[in-house]
Amino acid sequence: MEQTKINMPLLGDDFPELDVQTTHGPMKIPGDLKGSWFVLFSHPADFTPVCTTEFHGFQMLYDDFEKLGCKLIGMSVDQVFSHIKWVDWIDENLKTEIKFPVVAANDQVAMKLGMLHPGKGTNTVRAVFIVDPESKVRLVLYYPQEIGRNMDEILRAVKALQVSDKQGAVAANWPNNELIGDRIIVPPAKDVKTARERMKEYEGYDWWFVHKPYEK
């Protein structure tokens, strides 16, 4: 039996070019979003409980993503008519207006993003792609259908990527790391002279683990 090839954008890759229909009309992704961060997240199916909680959760953080200059885009292989009806249902029953577009992906689009996993049925998995203003893939997450995502972590990841691009590496659970709080990790020294000077220049635990203040 011929094995289906699964494509998956890797970190640092250009996000694949997609021409799609959405609840906000036709879109070219990432072309229409050039110059902006965006989070594209797929869900298995409309009118399902876990996905509904996720859409509600993303919308609750919509303004926070906007403050970071980051757009939200939902996606599944359901038709756009289904998306429209589902978004209306969420508005009417949960009093939550979904302000971000929802893509009606076909199987070809889903395969480009590695969203169809043969071992998980015909629905798309819960994929998350964080893409930077240069249309480079910066973070990829895949969740099974039975587990909902943590939207606060996705928001934190966007902010952490933006901070790390300008200031340096960020620690686990940043900005609330148990060891160094919100401080920024300085890259390890690459030569003996720099290593010996590290502890004189920065606070830290050793020459290879020093940190500096976070510039807000």
> Which are the catalytic amino acids?
51
CA–centroid distance for 131 within its chain: 7
The one-letter amino acid at 32: D
How many CA atoms does the CB half-sphere of 18 hold within 13 Å? 27
Please give the structure tokens belonging to residue 131. 């893409």
How many CA atoms does the CB half-sphere of 191 hold within 13 Å? 2
Beta carbons within 8 Å of 24's beta carbon, 6+ residues apart: 101
